[in-house]
């Protein structure tokens, strides 16, 4: 069992980490930037469903937190590339662990004959208490 200690601020360090990299889209953005430098349009293509507004917002937040670097090229048309900073690269082992866990979970759920989405959506059946007779 992992023991989590609280910081002086009264919250767990996991809370701090999730405030920076948590959410639906940030881990996916970081995963793709961990593989290579990407342009904005490449990230949009690699992450189906993300809106232009959300991608812009998350990239700005990640840049503000020192996780992502933005490089602008002075050419026509303008070109902007995003990459992980050295500090952001320290997240690679965490992202790899999430990927590995997700693969194992998919295989586990697949063995039970249920897709991950169905498994989450279906309520867990309750056991009836045994009647003592």
Q: What is the CATH number of the domain that holds 89?
A: 1.10.10.10
Task: Return the number of other C-beta atoms located less than 10 Å from residue 30's C-beta.
Answer: 23
Q: Which domain holds residue 91?
A: 13-96
How far apart (Å, rounded) are the C-alpha atoms in residues 64 and 88?
A: 12
Identify the sign of the CA torsion 45, 102, 106, 26: negative
Residue 112 lies in a domain: no
DSSP 3-state of 65: coil
Number of structural domains in the chain: 1
pTM: 0.73
Per-residue pLDDT at 7 exceeds 70: no
Residue 60 lies in a domain: yes
CA angle 50, 69, 99 (to 5 degrees): 55
Residue 51 lies in a domain: yes
Per-residue pLDDT of 54-72, as tens digits, reads 999 999 999 999 999 999 9
User: Which range, of 7-11, 47-51, 97-101, 107-111, averages the lowest pLDDT?
Assistant: 7-11
Per-residue pLDDT at 119 exceeds 60: no
Query: CB-based burial of residue 63 (10 Å sphere; 0-12 exposed, 13-18 middle, 19+ buried)?
Result: middle
Residue 126 lies in a domain: no
Residue 49 lies in a domain: yes
Name the DSSP class of 50.
-
Residue 102 lies in a domain: no
Per-residue pLDDT of 23-36, as tens digits, reads 899 999 999 999 89
**Residues 6 or more apart whose Cβ sits within 8 Å of residue 42:** 32
Instruction: Please report the beta strands in 1-133, taking only residues with DSSP state E, as ranges in sequence order.
Output: 38-39, 68-73, 79-84
């Amino acid at each position: 069992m992992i023991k989590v200690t609280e910081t002086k601020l009264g919250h767990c360090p996991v809370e701090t980490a999730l405030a920076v990299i948590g959410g639906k889209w940030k881990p996916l953005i970081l995963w793709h930037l961990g593989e290579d430098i990407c342009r904005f349009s490449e990230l949009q293509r690699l992450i189906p469903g993300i809106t232009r507004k959300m991608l812009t917002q998350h990239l700005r937040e990640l840049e503000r937190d020192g996780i992502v670097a933005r490089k602008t090229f002075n050419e026509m048309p303008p070109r902007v590339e995003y990459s992980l900073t050295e500090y952001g690269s320290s997240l690679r082992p965490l992202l790899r662990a999430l990927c590995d866990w997700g693969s194992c979970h998919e295989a586990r759920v697949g063995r039970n004959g249920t897709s991950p989405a169905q498994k989450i959506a279906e309520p867990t059946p309750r056991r009836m208490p045994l009647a003592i007779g």
